[in-house]
Amino acid sequence: MAAPSDQTPLPLKGRVAIVTGGAGGIGSAISKHLASLGAHVVIGYVGDPTPAENLASAINATTGTTSGPPQAIAVATDVSNAAQVMSLFDAAMHAFGPDLHILVTAAGVIDADYPSIAETSEEMFDWMFGTNCKGTFLCCREAANRLVRGGGGRIITFSSSGVGSLRPGYGVYSGTKGAVEVMTKILARELKGTGITANAVAPGSIETPMFYAGKSVEDARKFMGEIPMGRLGLPEDVAPVVGFLASDAGAWVNAQVVRVNGGNV
């Protein structure tokens, strides 16, 4: 991420963005990209704090905020826990002031064994729905009550192109994402009059550790062969789409699902 010059327009300057899963494969690219557009970024993470803290430090070093108020902070958050989601928003307000502008719900999990529905345990179902669906709901509920109104408020959830491909082994995972799509579209309508938009981004096969988990080299080649663009997507292919939706340029895009998949429906 190149340091912006003083002459570079920063469409998100002064805005505050919360990114759950903000240190993950796609989430880290989003966090860096939003920061490059001028946003203050709150990196939500779960588990080992090192990647999130290193990412925040790198953003602050790149943007010249190694001293004084930071441009990025890392906050441990289990998105399936309502109290922790509230604390995430509280931490954002404590660090950057009362005006929160952008929520990106990039936190997500998948069963790397890719079981059929008949072979999926109740515990695995609860885990995936708890993070992917309930976690998105809790974050969206908080954002609907806390984001600035009158313009600049953006909610960007994460679905998956798997909702359309209906691939065996992804029944529960894609089910969580289908629920996210419907919830996002309804939320956009419920926020009528607030100036807050709500859209979902639905990546296809993206080159991240989550994509490769449980897959053989042959599996990965098969996925790649299905993509008209002839390659796997990169996190950096997804981040600019999120940046567009988060900016004023995306103000007229609302209640939509944007599939970022190289043409692999």
Kindly list the catalytic residues: 173
CA 9, 13, 19, 23 torsion-angle sign: positive
The string of DSSP codes covering 68-85 is SS-SEEEEE--TT-HHHH
Helix (H) or strand (E) holding 89: helix 82-96
| Closest CA relative to residue 141, chosen from 99, 108, 112, 183 | 183
CB 100 within 8 A of CB 20: no
> % helix / strand / coil in the chain, to the nearest 5?
45, 15, 40
* Beta-sheet pairing, 154-158 with 197-203: parallel
Partners of 45 in the β-ladder: 76
| Distance from C-alpha of 63 to C-alpha of 67, rounded to nearest angstrom | 11
* Beta-sheet pairing, 16-20 with 102-105: parallel
